Amino acid sequence: MSALAPGSIIGILGGGQLGRMLALAAARLGFSCHIYAPEADGPAAMVSAYHTMGDYLDLDKVKRFAKSCDVITYEFENVPAVTAAACAQLSPLRPGALALEVAQDRLTEKTFLQDKAGIAVVPFADIINVYDVGRACKRLNVPAILKTRRLGYDGKGQVKINSEDDIESAYKALAGAPAILEKFAPFKREVSIVAARGIDNTFSAYPLIENIHRNHILHSSTCPAPNDNGAASAIARAIMDALDYVGVMATEFFEMEDGSLIVNEIAPRVHNSGHFSQDSGCCDQFELHIRAITGWPLGDTKPRHSTVMTNLIGKDALDWKKLAADENTYLHLYGKGSARPGRKMGHINVAGTPLLPKNSDS
Ligand code: ADP
Ligand code: MG
């Protein structure tokens, strides 16, 4: 398989900030991007050469878009299976349909990770009705978290069950959507691995990232995280091999008191916890993804200094002038109009201490 030459057209399904930063990275390497998204002028379309505004289920439009692209990728995991299949008929879809199928449904995801990839996940149960919740709470013990199988993000579609009294109201809150019950994991910290796998099975991962959530939304990520023994990266690699994955993937983990790792979920795309890489002195996750899906050599994922990424949520972004003046601070804004509460408007990367190469004796 040969590498796509500069000038080739990369199709991106989805028009948000991840698509925007992918398109900017692609432009740096001489590629043009074609965004397919339902919005008229989202963050990605604003910075891309081509844009088709369309519904993901308008398959005629999707096929016209796919014909114009040399490779197609996506910036969100909820691309409908029929849309992905229509694209894959006409152009290479990277990552492939299996990654989407697994990551779209929390039950399929946990079953795949446990049974096909042999990876530890929290104890879970399939939930179809309220009686299943009662039975599963008895079997797994509370506290537990009831989550919709599909379409949840930033903690949406999740309810915590602290005692049996919460079962009915929790089930009602999900409005009858197919769900999964997960045992609550009393983790010590949350960490993630952002890594790429190339079309020739090459693998490249950033060091371990430590993540702090506020109100179920990622607040900050620090890379490198202390105490990285390489185990998380090995697990991420095993999952990517099992999916025959091409591109950047994020793996979210719970690290338990005894140091063991449980995979929480995977994201078959660039990830918020990988934004630190933009200002860490190595190839950033967006360029890494573009390189992987176009068959280029994967980039260098060794940061030259530590970095703390903090999200600008809602009104945080109104401080842009002050943030722009701060030393060691790199400001990224997504071009979104209104700073609604909970909306990811941008992020900052703050550069920290230099990291010496491992084999350096100075
Ligand atoms: P989302 O798709 O919204 O990111 P997650 O499953 O990652 O959904 O849940 C969001 C956050 O909620 C996690 O990062 C973690 O802080 C908390 N959480 C989710 N599931 C569990 C669990 N089983 N045990 C403990 N905390 C959890
Ligand atoms: Mg998550």
What distance in angstroms lies between residue 56's CA and the mean position of ligand 1's atoms? 27
> Does any ligand 1 atom lie closer than 6 A to the CB of residue 145?
yes
**Ligand 1 atom with the shortest distance to the CA of 155:** 3
- Ligand 1 mutation pick, 102, 105, 121, 158, max ligand atoms within 8 A of CB: 158
Distance CA 76, CA 132 (A): 30
Distance of CA 358 to the CA centre of its chain: 28
Q: What distance in Å separates the CA atoms of residue 62 and residue 190, rounded to the nearest whole number?
A: 37
Taking a C-beta distance cutoff of 8 angstroms, is the pair 90, 63 a contact? yes
Model pLDDT, residue 353: 93
Whose CA is closest to 210, among 197, 227, 196?
227
Report which protein residue has its CA nearest ligand 1's atom 22. Answer: 184
Question: What is the Å distance from ligand 1's center to 130 Cα?
Answer: 21
Q: From ligand 1's centre to the CA of 352, what distance in Å?
A: 28
Distance, in Å, from the CA atom of 328 to the CA atom of 324, rounded to the nearest integer, reads 10
CB 153 less than 6 A from any atom of ligand 1: yes
Whether ligand 1 lies within 6 angstroms of the CB of 154 is answered as yes
* Residue 157 beta carbon below 6 angstroms from any ligand 1 atom: no
**Ligand 1 neighbourhood includes 122 CB (under 6 angstroms):** yes
What counts of helices (H) and strands (E) characterise the chain? Answer: 10, 17
CB 110, CB 124: distance < 8 Å: yes
Contacts of 38 (CB under 8 A, 6+ apart): 15, 53, 54, 55, 56
- Please provide the DSSP assignment of 99-139 as one string: HHHHHH-HHHHHHIIIIIS------EEEESSHHHHHHHHHH
- Say what the pLDDT of residue 1 is: 65
If one counts every other C-beta atom within 10 angstroms of the C-beta of residue 231, the result is 15
In this predicted structure, what is the pLDDT of residue 153? 83
Per DSSP (E only), the strands in 144-231 are: 144-148, 158-161, 179-183, 189-197, 203-205, 209-214, 217-223
| Tens digits of pLDDT across the chain (362 residues) | 689 999 999 999 999 999 999 999 999 999 999 999 999 999 999 999 999 999 999 999 999 999 999 999 999 999 999 999 999 999 999 999 999 999 999 999 999 999 988 999 999 999 999 999 999 999 999 999 999 999 988 888 999 999 999 999 999 999 989 999 999 999 999 999 999 999 999 999 999 999 999 988 999 999 999 999 999 999 999 999 999 999 999 999 999 999 999 999 999 999 999 999 999 999 999 999 999 999 999 999 999 999 999 999 999 999 999 999 999 999 999 999 899 999 999 999 999 999 976 654 44
Whole-number Å distance, alpha carbon 264 to ligand 1 midpoint, is: 7
Cβ contacts of 73 within 8 Å, gap of 6 or more: 10, 11, 12, 13, 22, 93, 94, 95, 247, 269, 289, 293
Ligand 1 site, residue 264, Cβ cutoff 6 A: yes
Most ligand 1 atoms within 8 A of CB, residue of 110, 264, 271, 273 to mutate: 264
216 lines ligand 1 (CB under 6 A): yes
Phi-psi map region of 176: left, alpha, beta (phi>0 left; psi -120 to 50 alpha): left
Residue with tokens 């990605």: 44
Distance 192 CA to ligand 1 centre (A): 13
**DSSP of 41-88, one letter per residue?**
S-TTGGGSSEEEE--TT-HHHHHHHHHT-SEEEESSTT--HHHHHHHH
| CB of 109 sitting under 6 A from ligand 1 | no
State if residue 103 touches ligand 1 by the CB under 6 angstroms criterion: no
Query: How close is the Cα of 266 to the center of ligand 2, in Å?
Result: 8
Cα separation, 197 vs 239, whole angstroms: 11
Ligand 2 center to residue 76 CA distance, Å?
Answer: 13
> Residue 273 C-alpha to ligand 1 middle, in angstroms?
14
